[in-house]
Amino acid sequence: MEPLLKPAVAKRVGETPVSYAIVSGGNAYYHSSNKPLKTLLTAAVRHPSKFEQSIQATKKWGASINGGRGPHPTPPQNVNRRAAEYRSITMKVFISVDMEGISGITDTTMTSRDHPDYEKGRALMVRDVNACIEGVLAAGPAEITVCDGHGGMNNINPEDLNQAATLVRGSPKPQSQNAALDGTYDACIFVGYHSHKGTLHGVLSHTYSGASVESLHINGAEVGETAMNAGIAGHYGVPLIMVTGDQAVAAEAKSLSQDIETAVVKTAIGRRAAVCLHPEKARQLIRDTTTKAVKKYKRVKPVTYTTPVTYTIRFTDAARADAAAFIPGAKRIDGKTVELTSPDYITAYHGFIAAVLCAQAVSQ
């Protein structure tokens, strides 16, 4: 939901008084406030219902609010310009969420739907995500999208998610763990991510599908989901600004750019063992690191790959490679390896997803 508050005059953060307009039903209601612009905008994001109540009161009684002049019957010609000014100072942030890197999780009993502690894992997952959302909002007003990217991608209970965010869930979907991400976003964040398959001391390390994919190389370099999904953001010119998870995935993120912030919520001492921060301390770390990352997002460059883009997929057995080799344009390298080359990154990525789905089909 777009906040109802629109700044009527672009001012520096902290400067008062601030003129603003509440826009509803084609009418603009102008007011002023001695509160700083940043405070007003943040309040609009967090408490839109309060501004809706203000609108109703203004419509009904023509009352002045915060010393304002009451309703303006028709919006001036510059309302659209003022709305554009609002959007120019409101960030748009995309959060992709996986589960293996969530604080407190060390094995599949908390990540698989048919295991006994899955509900505990879901609860830990959404609380880490909410901490990230709170960190974004602490840096300023923002439009936030959260994409559930684990397993069937329907792990987050919508009712438990912070209301400031919209939720993308379900599978399969275009761009998978980054569905809905496009060039309108200013930054993206990966929460609960993990390292690539075979990593020494990486909690539940795997590459997209542990049962099907042995390794993945993009343009000759081995990557995990962090680098792969950062490439989706980079295709649209969006920088990856922060990653949360264990120390292994943090190292993968830093290898892409030292400007990417990381929140290490646990230190792996094996694939299914880790020294974990208390969840509350982990969430505070996520909040603080997110705020820091958002404030300096313009310093981070998007992760990009030269074109044409080549995905080299080594499967866990030959039967899975047999199936993936039917994809038009696929090149069989050896018994377990298939190569896909595409003119742009998104096409290459979707070719990879198709190859994995083919591989999974023959395993059943």
Between 36-40, 136-140, 183-187, 233-237, the lowest mean confidence (pLDDT) is in 36-40
336 with 322: CB under 8 angstroms? no
Helices (H) and strands (E) in the chain, counts: 9, 16
Nearest alpha-carbon partner for 353 in 319, 313, 309: 313
**Which pLDDT band holds residue 45 (cuts at 50, 70, 90)?**
very low
pLDDT attached to residue 217 = 98
CATH number for the segment(s) 91-210+221-299: 3.40.50.10780
Any residues with CB less than 8 A from the CB of 160 and at least 6 apart, and which?
Answer: 123, 126, 130
Q: What is residue 22's predicted lDDT score, i.e. its pLDDT?
A: 44
Domains 91-210+221-299 and 309-363 share a fold: no
> How confident is the model over 242-281, as pLDDT tens digits?
999 999 999 999 999 999 999 999 999 999 999 999 999 9
pLDDT at 61 over 70: no
Q: What is the band of 89 on the pLDDT scale with cuts at 50, 70, 90?
A: low
pLDDT band per the 50, 70, 90 thresholds, residue 90: confident
Sign of CA dihedral 208, 267, 188, 280: positive
CB-CB contact of 241 with 261 (8 Å): yes
Task: Locate the domains of the chain by residue range.
Answer: 5-88, 91-210+221-299, 309-363
76 pLDDT more than 70: no
206 is catalytic: yes
pTM of the model: 0.77
Q: Please write the tens of the pLDDT for every residue from 216-235.
A: 999 999 999 999 999 999 99
Q: Which of 196, 145, 152, 144 is nearest to 173 (CA)?
A: 152
* Mean confidence (pLDDT) of the chain: 84
pLDDT at position 363, please? 81
Query: What span, in angstroms and rounded, lies between the C-alpha atoms of 237 and 233?
Result: 6
Are the beta carbons of 50 and 15 closer than 8 angstroms? no
Among residues 206, 235, 278, 350, the one annotated as catalytic is 206
Percent of the chain with pLDDT over 90: 74
DSSP code, position 114: T
More confident residue, 25 or 94: 94
Give the model's pLDDT for residue 194: 98
First-to-last C-alpha distance (Å) of the chain:
42
Is residue 204's pLDDT more than 80?
A: yes
pLDDT above 70: residue 11: no
- Would you say domain 309-363 falls under CATH 3.30.450.20? no
Helix axes 37-46, 48-61, angle to 10 degrees: 100
Question: CA separation (Å) from 239 to 117, 196, 233, 259, 301?
Answer: 35, 21, 6, 10, 6
Q: Is the dihedral of CA 314, 320, 324, 330 positive or negative?
A: positive
